[in-house]
A and B are shown apart, each in its own frame.
Chain A
Amino acid sequence: MTESVPFLPDPGGVLVTLEEDDIDFLSQIPEFLAGVGSVADDPASARLRVPVYLDDPEASEEWWRLMGSELEQSRLADRSAFELIVEAAASGTVMSIPEAEAFLRVLNNARLALAARLKVEVEEDYERLLEADRGALDYLAGMQGLLLMVLSAR
């Protein structure tokens, strides 16, 4: 997809400029993530709701009862920020650092959820993926890597 540099350092944070293909693809992510858990036995939902106490299911359940809704609110806020940035990115827009971090988390959650639905459990599982599925994961990883370079250089 993108051949230009999508993320550049900016005094206000990170300048993001996306091409049409990138926008078409990335704009589907918030809806995809909002749908996690909407199907029965969704492995993506399980990946984003892993146990916190491995040897104590009750304590784990209690943790999720207390923290789960706050975590979901935080993820929702990240997705909303991501959506607005993608919408504005055709002509270039500056993300604040907190917005850039939210953008990064959404990219990461998209990879986690997609990989879970594709049943990627060990690194060797990548080898058996269809080209399109692997391409989507690689594309998201590439975007993450480029944004990380800008954030890590600060």
Chain B
Amino acid sequence: MTTKPLETTRPGTESETDVVPDTPWLVVVWNDPVNLMEYVVWVLRKLFGHSLEEATRLMLLVHNEGRAIVNDGPREQAEIDCYRLHQHGLWATVEQ
């Protein structure tokens, strides 16, 4: 599940390689008609340490737009975040 950084060769310096930061993986929470709004806020605060205002903003984004990106990072971390969200009953996915 680990993701290696991309390696590219700079033109004209074929022996040299640059390490390009990996594109972050996004953790997405999707709307559903069952989870309580205050529960979603509580989960986001507990898992990601968001302030009440930020967690509420994300929850409303999920509710109104159908989804919200709640975190991003390396693939392995995104998958762990996803696990913790599923553990709390939120429908979370990973995408790039």
Contacts and interface: CB of A to CB of B under 8 A. Distances in A.
Interface of A: 48, 50-55, 62-63, 66-67, 70-71, 74-75, 101, 104-105, 108-109, 111-112, 115, 120-123, 125-126, 137, 141, 144-145, 148, 151-152
Contact of B91 (A50, A63, A120, A123): A50
B42 A148 contact: yes
A153 to B, nearest CB: 11
Interface residues on B, range: 20 to 34
6 contacts: A52-B93, A53-B95, A54-B93, A71-B86, A111-B34, A120-B34
Nearest to A108: B89
- The secondary structure that dominates the A interface is helix
B36 interface: yes
Nearest to B88: A105
A101 B89 CA distance: 12
In the A-B complex, the 9 residue pairs with the closest CB atoms: A108-B89, A115-B34, A123-B33, A50-B91, A67-B83, A148-B38, A112-B89, A112-B34, A54-B93
B95 A55 contact: yes
